[in-house]
Structure formats: C-alpha cells, structure tokens
Amino acid sequence: MVNIDRKVALTGIFLKNDETISMLLTLMARVWILPSRRLISIIGTGKLGSAVALQVASRELGDLRLVDIIQGLPQGEALDLGQMAAEQGADVDIVGSNDYKDIAGSDLVVVVGGLGRKPGMTRLDLQEKNEDIIRGICDKIVEYAPKTLILMVTNPLDVMTYLAWKVTGFEPSRVFGQSGMLDTMRFKYFIAKALRVSTSSIQAVVIGEHGDSMVPLPRFSTVNGVPITELLSPAQVAEAIERTRKIAAEVIALKGATIYAPAHGITRMVESVIKDKKMVLCLTAHLNGEYGVKDIYLDVPAVLGARGVERVIELKLNDEERAAFLKSVEVVKTAVGHLKTVKVS
C-alpha cells in the first residue's frame, strides 16, 4: 500500500492539504496514463489470415480482432493464438467473432476475406466472384470502423483496393494494398539464387499490376548498392523476372495456396503503420498524377506510416521501363472498368 499521508484512513481517503492532493493525483496518473495498445482487425481467418494473426501476435504489434463468416473458426483461432501468446509473454488481447461490430475502434483493418486462386486461375479470374464479397466487407467497415486504415489483400489486389476506396469513400491514403511486398521478396529470392549471395544484401523493386503484367525493375534492384544489371547477364535477369511473375501459380499448383510469404509481407506493412516507422515499401497505392497516371491503384514504392500512404516515390523510368509500366496500367484500368458496383471516374 502506498502511504500517501498519515491522515489517510483505512476506511477512506481524507484529503487535508494541497500536498496530499498532489501526491494522490500523481499516483492516479501512474495508473491511468499507460500506453494504449493499437487495435488490428483481420477480416478472413483462413490459412492466410491466421498466418498473419500469428505473426502480428508474436511481434506484439497490437490487440487483434479476427472476423470470419464461418461459425466457430475465428473463435477457435483466437483461443489457439491466445494460448501461444501467453507462453511467449506477448501481452495482446485476441478475440474471434462472426460479428463485424467487434472491429469497432480499429486502427487498421486487414482484408483477407474472399475466394482464393485455384490452380490454373489468374488473379483477374477472381474479380467477379470477389467484388460482391469485398463490397459487403467495406460497407461493414464504414459502419463500424469509419476512422480505420484499410490494408487490402484479396485478389485481384489492385482492383479490389480501388473498389474498397470507392465503396468506403475514405481518403485514398487510408486505403492501400499488399502486393509489391510479396512481388519484391520473390524477385529478391531469385536474384539471391542467381548470385549465390545473402538476401539481406539485396534491395528489389517491382511496380505495376500485382499479376502477369508486373514490372520488376533490374536497374533499381541492387546488391549492396550495385545494380543487378552489372552483376547478372541479360539472360539471368530475364529468367529472374519471369520466375517472379510465374512463381505464385507454381506454388498454388503444388500446395494449393501461398501463405507464409504474403503473411510476412502483410505483417511488415502492419508494423510500419502501427509503429509509424515510415518504411519505404513497394505497395498498392493510389496514383494522382505520379508516373503520369491518375485514378488508379498500382504497385509503386511509397512511404507507409500511421496515417497510411504518406508519399509515393516516383522513380525516373527509362523508355523501356515506362512502356512496360503503362502496359500494366492499361491491364488494371480495363479490369477496373468491368466493376459492376462502382462508378469508375
């Protein structure tokens, strides 16, 4: 027990002078003014959503709300993850729910819900199926968490991020997607394999659509600052680019889904937001004149912090790179133009 004053009785506190009042207020402040944990909601708790929750909880990035339409699934995941966190000493509150009202107060909502790719499908094949799902999720976000940021994961990612922006009416900086994080780590992986060097020495850059028209940029991808174009032959560079574009389909054909790599990329983005780290990451961001393009979401390097996308980094592309990027822009614009439930500007 804290001895505030000799005149503090066991049956109550009797404030007799200014000094006692000051000491009491100081004590109360120590109890009340504690750093509050941030709230992260994950919509969709299948394999990928659960893998994200695992990493977020392990890194103690914030309290978690797991939401899914399948009865019992998010509740079970929350219990399982909560027991893991208890052993790790991670002080996070994890709640599973089938009710969107539990996302109220979220600082960040990660949208993983929707149908995933099956072997032989492209990301764009999912558009019609996932459009209605994402629209419904976004309506609930607006209703229960109108001040949140949105991190879109559902494919086709560029199109679904655009859809989320249109449906919610949020500022474009508050809606962004995970694409470039995954594409760059894949490009980095194949560069490291070709050069037989540590991946920690590699910085990779990929822009454009999160799909077959993506544009890996060898001139801007480096090993300790040296462009890979000076270290690999043109044939080796071309092979790394092609493998980067096709590897997702290969993994899906082998095991049914991509899980760990996207979960890691998502978690790094969550960390940059929650900790306001302002990392420069390749991600799906809204373009409003950058790269000569407007009213579209595409993968570009950007600064990500507590307010969302704070700034798009505009690279000086050469003619060949720009042509490839604009081709990717047209692919996404065509797909966005087929959306049924929003008016495209």
Instruction: List the catalytic residues.
Output: 210
SS3 sequence of 217-228:
CHHHCEECCEEH
Crossing angle of helices 47-58 and 73-88, in 10° steps, is: 30
Cα gap 344→217, rounded to integer Å: 29
